[in-house]
Structure 1
Amino acid sequence: MPASGGARAKMVRARNRWRRLPLPARILLWIVGILFAIWLILFITKGRFLKRPFERIMTSQLQRDVQVGGDFQLYFAPISIKFRAERFAIANVPWASRPQLFRADLIDSLISPVSLIFGKRYRVHWLDLRGGAVDLEWSRDHLRNTWTLGDPDRKGKPMTLPLIRQAMLAGTTLRYRDPRMRFNTDIRFETVRTRDTRFASDVRFSGDGDMNGRSFTMKGGLLTPNATVTGGRNQLVLRAMADATIVDITGTLPGATELERSDLRLVAQGPNLARLFDFLGVAIPDTRRYRFTSALTKAGEEWRFTHLKGRFGDSDLAGRMTVSLPDERLLIQADLATQTLDIIDVGPFIGYDPQRLEAQGAAGAIETVGGAPRVLPDAPLRIEAIRNFDADVRYTVRTIRAPNVPISNAAVTVKLDHSRLTLSPFTFDMAGGHVASDIGIDARNRPVRTTYDIRLSPTPMGKLLARWGVEESGTSGTIKARVQMTGLGDSLHDSLANSNGRIAVILPAGTMWARNIQLSELDIGTFVTKMFSGKLKKPVQINCGLIAFTVRDGVAAADPILIDTAKNVMTGRGGFSFKDESLDFAFRADGKKISLFSGQSPVGINGYFARPGISVISPELIARGGSAVALGIVGTPIASLLAFLDVGDAKGAACGPILAGAHAAAQRTKGGEPRDDVGRGTTAKDEGGKSGAKKDKKFLGIF
């Protein structure tokens, strides 16, 4: 009796203490008690009694049939959620190519309960997956996918992997299909064994697939899977190969599936960098053999390539690049720089075959078409490829290694916005001058429409033409120029072959010194006199000059060619064609003062862009020679010299219209009279089809 009385007294005191507690405290203690009871029941039973309710609830929530064919466990151990299921399967949506989204002989895991309630991504501390198969697919319209669970008509969301700290995989495969991105892959994970609660080997995987119609294979693994047990990092090794293109990725990941804050190094190499970007469906210019290294990490939705450096062909490249998918459209942003760019490596940028350039050098830019040499590339712009992405790229070059023209400090901003490509501004220094240009390529409609606006600031003539025999010492003349054209076509050749516009080169006042300048004028009397008097190196005084062409449907006609010097007026007619790249024009010099032994005959320039020719023996000169012979026979030897007499009646040019780059119709003599010796912006055939040579016998008939 006393004992039972003592027990009752304790119960009364405990009840009184409970009643004295504030109501919130009592409620909290009840909740803790209930939770502990649930935890205890689950821990003792391993939650096996929840198997059928789990299947029903998950089937309802996911709107996919969920089944567990073997043992089932769901409990707290002690805080993390322990989930274990044998012969576990989740059915796929009806339109998928496989009946099951996921199946596994065994799935054993420890899951963070906090991440299930508050986290955007589930955190898995441990995953043991055996005999697993995952099937991930996008629908053909790219509106739905198999891993967006719930309503089958719900718009598909991007795939977000759970954050897995440690994993053990055995006989597991992953299948991924994306019809819009044209990407398919199958990955196989090798069996991994453990020893004394630690991995006895690396987590290895291999696979194959195709992307944008190009096949690839890959292999790799996590080399330090035990490091995550103590909060370390996984060491990743991955190699992907496609023919001669090889990409190696090494480094560390925070977790087995954690890419954020990863510290990776990429090495890419192959015969042509364009083939690597083909896997992304991105069109870039072809290159010669390349090798690049880069730091690689993922930040949010961006893949960042930093500290990028390497070589392509005989040129270097460094900088950074970011690849992202804003609004589900691929965007490439880059800031790149080259210290020395070899001129051969420039060729593929505008459509030349890099293999031909590699094997033949500059000669590889020339092809024979229809029996004639062609130098303008006809590689078509890859219209479908540039529709797949946008770009914003800044590229600078310090020096371009070129044998004939010194070019340096090039810079271009390349922007691609829904099939409209612009190179603006595109600038570089050349021979002491500066070239600024804006080029736009609009591929939104067919045919492609390209606009060219290229401007050359005043450039020292001696430095620009030094490779062609013009001496810098004694040459003070400059050259400035502008090209404004619009063309239609998918390649550079086609665009220019259908172009319209104007090309103008202006020579302000200055001097030019070249050893054979008089040969170009064919003033034989002056040339011989200077040669024997030792005055050959005296500079030629240029008052002003204009070499201009009007381009119509790809044919450029002189409009005008007019150069006024101290002693001569040089004029020209004819032109060239972007269609077949033929050259056919002539120019001549008429003296302002009387001169003996003057051939007074035009110099013809013919042939092709890739193989130009100069003709200094013209029918006119032969006719003059015949006249001289006739006069020598019927008269005296002195009389034969009259055939080579230049009476010096050339009219000086007004420099105002010349320096303004005006058309031929606007050109004037110094006296203000219209000039009739510089053409009318057409070829030598007039609108009526008559040869312009018949109008002025001083010029060769051309075109």
Structure 2
Amino acid sequence: MTSTTAPKPRLSIWMRIGAVLLGLFAALLLLLALFPWDALREPLNRYVSERTGRKFEITRRLDVDLGWRSAAVKLDGVEFANPSWAREPYLVRAERAAFDIRLWPLLSGRVVIPHLALTSPTLGLQMEEDGRRTWALGKNTSDEGTVPVIGLMEVDQGTLDFLAEHLGVDLHAGFSYDSSRGEMPLDFRIKGRYQRQPLMAQGRTGNVLQLNAAGQPPFPLEIDAAAGHTRLKAKGTVAELASLDGIDARFDLKGQNLGDLYGLLGIALPQTSPYALSGELRKRARLWEAAGLKGKLGLSDIGGDMKFDQSQKIPSLSGTLRSRVMDMDDLGPLIGLPPTERSAKAIEGVAPPPSITEVKRARRDSGRKVLPDATLDFERLRAMNADVKYTAERIRNVRELPLDKGSVQIKLKDGVLTLDPLNLGVASGTLAGAIRIDGAQNPAEIRAALEVRGMQLSRLIPKIETMRTSFGKLDGRINLSGHGNSVAGWLGNASGDVAALTGRGQFSNLLLEFMGLDGGEIIKFLLRGDRNVVLRCAAMAFDVDKGTMNSRSVVLDTEDTVFNVSGQASLSKETLDFVVRPQPKDKSILSLRTPLIIGGTFAAPQAGLEAGSLATRGAAALALGALNPLLALAATVETGPGVDADCQEVLAQAKRPASREAAAGAAKAKKQ
């Protein structure tokens, strides 16, 4: 019987190979587990120092827990110097440091640290205008590729200094950790300067800060900060500190002037009275949103929603704002005037800025100029685009200008600011139109095209109501264009057309006779009482030629008297030079029939009788009086040479500019 031996299975060979490899791997793991990593401490110190060009030292012990994708590194005592150009000697100096580092990105020279924990650290961060940063790990500290990516950072207590002189930032922060503080155990205090303004801040947060970590839950943050005259309180959560992404917070903001936020946040807002605002703040990627805004702007309430989008090359601001009640005292800063004393002191907890009264008192030439001379900020006009709508449901404290309500669409595009449409309710009528400021030019080109419709003169000039007048409704227009970097500068060289018209109404005869200097009628009315006469028509039209307002048709026609006004006003010098010539239609004694001279400045107008005409009539009265006192009255007898003005012609002349310069300026103003 023949026996056969079965061959050994080929699989056993592979099993043996696998066993060998497994044994080698186990031996490798054992070697790595028992490897004296601290023996590499000195070589590692030399290697990092040579690669970065600055001293790096693990002062006591090094330990590494090596994994497939990352390594957990523990340093007992670490000192990493800053570059020689930095103010602080150390980038980081800590009692202990522990961090996870990704292994595969190291092959391409990238340093990715998902988690970093520091015990009692001292951090010195600094950046320069040329791009150098102390936290760039290469010898070329302006190389973006040498900046490590840090996800989560954990600290217990310590200090941090951050300096960026070209940005006006110099901050010192201190941290303290106390687990009894609940979900926000880390307390911080900051002092120094931000955007060249003094800054103080304090707050709390979780001890694990997300610098660049993705997919992690947001961490809580609470802050109370003051920079200059601006105060911010906020409480909420933040997803990433490096980009301030994923913000969800409730905020309270107050300060002297919303315009100050440009220096702090880069948002070009208008100059305002002191303010206090609250709302919900959110940030996703490059989009900031302030929802449910509510608060005060001086004496006015304000509310609405705003968005600030930084994703484009030129950031844009958009939103809708409204006021239930807007106070007229809050409009001054918008055109370059200081706030009134009421507005300056309207917000509790905000130091009041200098009021318009205090500013005038401090000036040596107090009262000499009245047109606003605050210059345009071209940097702000070009810093962003905007599309914001504002509506005021009711306007109060109107005093001389009885505004009822108003709305405006504010657009800013490539340095061109437009208020279009602009619609104001004034004296039961409307003032509507558009204003355009082209900040792409220097000086800026400014155009204003405004229409007046149906204003009640009795409301527009409240003081005459005591004389029982019932003027008709006023219509008019303002079409001006020119160049300037302030309201005063623009008006000082503007050209165009200014006109106002009104029709029939009732006019106080007593007031009329005072204007006509008719002494007999005044005495008669004092004995018999006042009565009203009919206003047939009135027109006020000016040609504006390079800052000079020349009277084109200024006529007031009543059943008693025709008043004709001639002269000019200089918008650049702010001077007046007008002559008012009354022509009574009735016969009266004691009428001086003397032209009234209106001169002086906008701030201090002066009125008086024309000296030559008055002297002639006075001399005649004295000569006749020497013969017989009764004959002196003959020189004051008015024989009534005045005739009715042609109202149709008066209104027609008021409708069209006469000079070529004025017509061209008006036409340009209407091309918004």
Show the counterpart of 1:590. 583
Pick the aligned partner of 2:330 from 330, 338, 345. Answer: 345
How far 1:111 moved relative to its partner? 6.3
Indicate if the aligned counterparts of 1:433 and 1:456 stay in contact, CA closer than 8 A.
yes
SS in 2 for 1:469: helix
Q: How far is the alpha carbon of 1:216 from its aligned partner? A: 1.3
Cα pair distance change 1:55/1:294, threshold 3 Å: farther
Counterpart-to-counterpart distance in 2, 1:413 and 1:36: 74
In structure 2, what residue type is equivalent to 1:261?
A: G
Aligned: 1:561 with 2:547: no
Partner of 1:206: 189
Secondary structure of the structure 1 residue equivalent to 2:532 = coil
Q: CA deviation at 1:639?
A: 8.8
Asked if residue 186 in structure 1 is aligned to residue 172 in structure 2, the reply is yes
The 2-side partners of 1:154 and 1:579 are apart by: 53
Structure 1 residue 222 corresponds to structure 2 residue 223? no
- Answering whether residue 444 of structure 2 is matched by residue 455 of structure 1, we say no
Correspondence list, 1:527-538, <5 A: 536-538=531-533
1:608 and 1:147 mapped to 2: Cα distance? 63
Structure 1: runs of 5 or more not aligned: 20-25, 667-679, 682-703
Q: CA deviation at 1:572?
A: 0.6
Match of 2:667 in 1: none
8 A contact 1:112–1:125 mirrored in 2 = no
**Alpha carbons of 1:342 and 1:512: their partners in 2 closer, same or farther (altered >3 Å)?**
same
Deviates more, 1:648-657 or 1:261-270: 648-657
Cα distance in 2 for residues equivalent to 1:431 and 1:300: 47
Please give the secondary structure, in 2, of the residue aligned with 1:645. coil
Q: 1:334/1:278 Cα in 2 relative to 1: closer, same or farther (>3 Å)?
A: farther
The 1-side partners of 2:425 and 2:645 are apart by 34
* 2:325 counterpart SS class: strand
Alpha-carbon spacing, 1:52–1:319, altered in 2? closer, same or farther (3 Å): farther
2:566 is matched with which residue? 573
Residues 1:132 and 1:520: Cα distance change in structure 2 (over 3 Å): same
* d(CA) in 2 for partners of 1:200, 1:393: 39
Amino acid corresponding to residue 294 of structure 1 in structure 2? G
Specify the code of the residue in structure 2 equivalent to 1:205.
F
Q: Taking structure 1 as reference, are residues 573 and 255 closer, same or farther at Cα in structure 2, changes over 3 Å only?
A: closer
Alignment check: 8 A CA contact 2:64 2:73 kept: yes
CA distance, structure 2, for counterparts of residue 270 and residue 106 of structure 1: 42
The residue type paired with residue 541 of structure 1 is R
Distance 1:656 1:592, change over 3 A: same
Name structure 2 gaps, 5 residues minimum: 346-353, 664-672
Task: After TM superposition, give the deviation of residue 325 of structure 1 in Å.
Answer: 4.1
Q: How many residues align?
A: 639
Could you tell me which residue of structure 2 aligns to residue 313 of structure 1? 298
Aligned equivalents of 1:428, 1:654: Cα separation in 2? 29
Distance verdict in 2 for CA 1:204–1:115, change over 3 Å: farther
Indicate how the Cα distance of structure 1 residues 258 and 546 shifts in structure 2: closer, same or farther if over 3 A, else same: closer
- 2:593 aligns with 600
Separation (CA, whole Å) in 1 of partners of 2:334 and 2:229: 21
User: CA distance change for structure 1 residues 369 and 658 in 2, over 3 Å: closer, same or farther?
Assistant: farther
Q: How does 1:466-477 map to 2 (within 5 A)?
A: 466-469=462-465, 474-477=470-473
Distance 1:617 1:457 in 2: 36
How many Å separate the matches in 2 of 1:457 and 1:248?
A: 46
CA deviation vs aligned residue, 1:664-691 (integer Å, no higher than 9, x gap): 869xxxxxxxxxxxxx99xxxxxxxxxx
Q: Among residues 125, 140, 143, which one is paired with 2:129 in the alignment? A: 140
Q: How big is the alpha-carbon RMSD for the aligned residues of Structure 1 and Structure 2?
A: 5.1
Q: 2:118, 2:104 → 1: CA distance?
A: 21
Give yes or no for contact 1:557–1:576 (8 Å, CA) kept in 2.
yes
State whether residues 461 and 479 of structure 1, in contact with CA within 8 Å, keep that contact through their aligned partners in structure 2.
no
| Bigger Cα displacement from structure 2, 92-101 vs 295-304 | 92-101
Code of the aligned partner of 1:72: L
User: Which fold has the larger relative contact order, with Cα–Cα distance below 8 Å and residues 6 or more apart in sequence?
Assistant: 2
- 1:488-567 alignment runs, 5 A limit: 488-489=484-485, 491-496=486-491, 498-514=492-508, 516-522=511-517, 536-542=531-537, 545-552=539-546, 554-565=547-558
Q: Are the aligned partners of 2:184 and 2:221 in contact in 1 as well (CA < 8 Å)?
A: no
In 2, Cα distance between the equivalents of 1:396 and 1:201?
Answer: 41
Normalised by the length of structure 2, the TM-score is 0.76
Counterpart of 1:72 (choices 58, 62, 76) is: 62
| Match runs of 1:608-623 below 5 Å | 608-615=601-608, 620-621=613-614, 623=616
2:641 pairs with 1:648: yes
Which stretch shifts more, 304-313 or 39-48?
39-48
3-state SS in 2 of match to 1:652 = coil
One-letter amino acid of the structure 1 residue matched with residue 593 of structure 2: Q
Q: 2:264 corresponds to which residue?
A: 279
CA deviations on 1:99-123 (whole Å, 9 max, x unpaired) are 76555443213468899999x9968
- Report Cα offsets for 1:385-407 as digits up to 9, x if no partner: 65655555443322232123221
Aligned partner (choices 232, 257, 272) of residue 247 of structure 1 = 232
Which residue in the other structure is 1:433 paired with?
A: 429
Q: Is the 8 A contact 1:145 1:157 kept in 2?
A: no
Selected match of 2:121 from 131, 135, 141? 131
CA spacing shift, 1:411–1:13, aligned 2, 3 Å: same
Counterpart position of 2:372: 377
2:639 aligned counterpart, secondary structure: coil
Instruction: Please give the alpha-carbon distance, in whole angstroms, between the structure 1 residues aligned to 2:300 and 2:45.
Output: 62
Aligned to 1:696: none
Change in CA separation of 1:389 and 1:469 when aligned onto 2, cut-off 3 Å: same
Which residue is 1:676 aligned to? none
Per-residue deviation at 1:155?
Answer: 6.7
Q: Which residue identity lines up with residue 314 of structure 1 in the other structure?
A: L
Matched, 1:266 2:217: no
Equivalent position to 1:167, from 148, 154, 172: 154
CA deviations over 1:396-442 (Å, ceiling 9, x no partner)? 32223212322143233444556554444433221122223433445
Q: Secondary structure at the match of 1:454?
A: strand
